Chain A
Amino acid sequence: MIDLVLFAILPYVALAIAIVGLLWRYRTNQFSYSSVSSQFLENRQLFWGSVPWHYGIILILLGHLTGILFPASVMAFNGVPLRLYILEGTGLALGLLVLVGLVLLLLRRGTNPRVRAVTSSMDLVLLLLLLLSIVTGVGTAIFYRWGSGWYVQTATPYLRSLVTFSLKVDYLASLPLLVKVHALNAFVILAVFPFTRLVHMLSVPLAYLWRPYQVVIWRRPRVQQ
């Protein structure tokens, strides 16, 4: 029963909160959408925290996504032991990289008086949730090896079952506690997503790559000559 609540109901509730929350915030308060960067207040520590954290977490999330989208390819890739070792090693290295980055960012928030002045309670909640996520993730990589192998056999079918509404909770329920905490924490992060600075993820400015350099706005739409 508890498994059903945690692994079947909670994900949908989290997703619903995320979607409704994001739409509400976007429609009523776009002004609050920002990366709320504090680089202006503190520069040096941020470099060692922010850069490893962002690049690391992007690659790690892409890794998770690859496992969900292309499980067969991942299995095939892992067929050669050397490739498996490389994948596992890379994953662990990235995990440690983001862990270091996140700890530095946390220390910076806690110790730099200027940065503390612009730290909201949601910032701290978010940082702690992320820390839990990274610690359980790195723990899983260390204690339950070959994650890239068993992830596609367990988490992938479970997550896919969520999407197709054909729930297969057992896949997750039978995994070790550490992994379950990792998964649950991910759903919690999803639920708090709209109420934190994480919304800046949705503003990744890819359109900059092709827009013209200058932006000119006419008051009235102009007839093109």
Chain B
Amino acid sequence: MDVRAQLATTFHLDKCIGCHTCSLACNNLWTSRPGTEYMWWNNVETKPGTGYPTLWEDQTKYRGGWELKGNSLRPRFGGRLGMLSNLFFNPYLPTMDDYYEPWTYQYGHLFTAPQGPDQPTAKPVSQVTGKYIDIEAGPNWDDDLGGSSVYARNDINLAQLTEAEQQALFRLEQMVFFYIPRICNHCLNPGCVSVCPSGAIYKRAEDGIVLVSQEKCRGWRFCVSGCPYKKTYYNWQTGKSEKCILCYPRMETGQAPACFHSCVGRIRYAGVLLYDAARIEEIAMTPQSELVAAQRRIILNPADPAVIAAARKNGLDDEWLGAARNSPIYKFVKEWELALPLHAEFRTLPMLFYIPPLLPVAASTKNGNYNLADGEFFGNIENSRIPIKYMASLFSAGNEEIIKSVLRKLWAVRSYQQASRVGNIDQSRAAAQLTEAGCTAEDAEQISRLTALPRVSDRYVLPPYHREEAIEQLTGDTQQHKYQVGFGYSAPPRRGP
């Protein structure tokens, strides 16, 4: 057992209101430099939809993640020699047109325009070329099902659905959507790391954050196609790749990442998970329908004395172990089995977990009358407005049973609270629902507490980071840079000649 800690995260999709505040907080902090304007380390997508970059989930197009090849696991990109032969031209690289060309407006013209018969306008100009552009796409062009006849229609997760089911989903009066905010998953078996020819991308052993060394990166740009979530980005100005750093400078000073901190719906949770690094490959090779269950298995019980002993041996201290025991992520993922990885079939073992939204049919209209479905407050999960199959394609590698059990539990918890607080549902019925969902009343209390009424300290359980150790790495001898500014960087981060 090789126990390591991972700073893991959970997003509760039922609470996401799609306001994009997270994206802006991240963008203001990290990606408002030349070359990074088009990057959204955090972005919010409307589902069904094609996402950003367009069709990122389609691995026949971008070849990200892993594939099982006989008895071994290898990057979908191909064998090592074959990959290097694509060094001069990466056939699977998304280009700027798959994202969008970033632009600004000529605001100055509003002030400098000569007097004339009409109002001056601020025309859009490209942030790449500085020329006027016709804006054709943006990072959330399909927000709230805008242009859904193009975007939502082409969502590849709909491939599982029959034509009739798709027709039903896209009937205008039935259209339904939910939001899915995405950041880097800081995977246990990251695709970007595995395809980096320079070995510049690495996973920090202490907290599992995946970073790109800007000194070692040589701009071979395989990570961009190799990450199945398209969460590594190429900075076209500096010729280096960049990605979400999980705001480690904030984490190291005890603050939650900017996107978490700014989340209006308070959908985000962060905490420590302990995992067995010795089993990564074995778990990543599990048959597809069992991947989610296998990923739960690699996460270790932080209260188990054997796990604690092994963790101590790997240098984890009591504060980290304590944080692991109080981790909201452990509760959501492992104890309650509510949070699921996005597209587990990419086999990267992502460490960002989503609680799928409950989208029941609450009512229907008949002859102009509004009728509650089944005469109940909620209908039933099989009649969800978004087919279970679709959710399974996103969150459980196609295994519909997992989605059903999650939705059943979410629904049971709501019924329980309705019964005990509002009283519009029969107590015995709510209790029966809980039993059916495999959930105790205490669990239901805790789930609804952590879902609806968590404090900041419940949502973010961040251990102290020991910057004194991190600083050793950066400087070697602590006296070395005593009289210099910063940590010895001698040149600004400019593009090479």
Contact = CB atoms under 8 A, between A and B. Distances in A.
Interface of A: 28-43, 46-47, 50-51, 53-55, 113-114, 116-118, 120, 122-123, 195-197, 199-200, 203, 205-209, 211, 213-220, 222, 225
B23 interface: no
B90 A215 contact: no
Determine the main DSSP class of B at the interface with A: loop
A171 B196 CA distance: 46
B88 A220 contact: no
B375 interface: no
A51 B240 CA distance: 21
Given A29-B490, A31-B240, A215-B203, A51 B88 contact: yes
A209 B195 CA distance: 11
Interface string B65-86: 0000000000100001101100
A31 B128 CA distance: 21
Category for how many chain B residues contact A? 35 or more
Interface in B434-453: none
Contacts of A114: 96, 128-129
A34 B217 contact: yes
A41 B495 CA distance: 15
B207 to A, nearest CB: 10
B237 interface: yes
Interface in B229-248: 234, 236-240
Interface of B: 2, 75, 80-81, 83-84, 87-90, 93, 95-96, 128-131, 189-190, 193-194, 196-199, 201-206, 214-221, 224, 234, 236-240, 277, 280, 313-315, 469-470, 472-473, 490-491, 493-497
Contacts, number: 160
Given A122-B497, A209-B80, A39 B193 contact: no
Contacts of A207: 199
B129 A220 contact: no
The CB with the most chain A CB atoms within 10 A, among B128, B221, B224, is that of B128
A34 B90 CA distance: 16
Contacts of A50: 88-89
B14 to A, nearest CB: 34
Nearest to A55: B88
A39 B201 contact: no
Contact of A217 (B198, B203, B219, B495): B203
29 contacts: A29-B491, A29-B496, A30-B215, A30-B216, A31-B215, A31-B491, A32-B491, A34-B218, A35-B239, A37-B239, A40-B221, A40-B234, A46-B89, A53-B88, A114-B96, A117-B128, A195-B497, A200-B218, A205-B199, A208-B80, A208-B198, A209-B80, A216-B204, A217-B202, A217-B203, A217-B205, A219-B204, A219-B469, A222-B314
B219 A218 contact: no
A208 B218 CA distance: 13
A141 B196 CA distance: 39
A34 B219 contact: yes
Given A34-B496, A36-B495, 13 more contacts: A34-B219, A38-B236, A41-B95, A54-B88, A117-B129, A118-B237, A196-B497, A208-B199, A209-B84, A215-B196, A215-B202, A215-B203, A218-B206
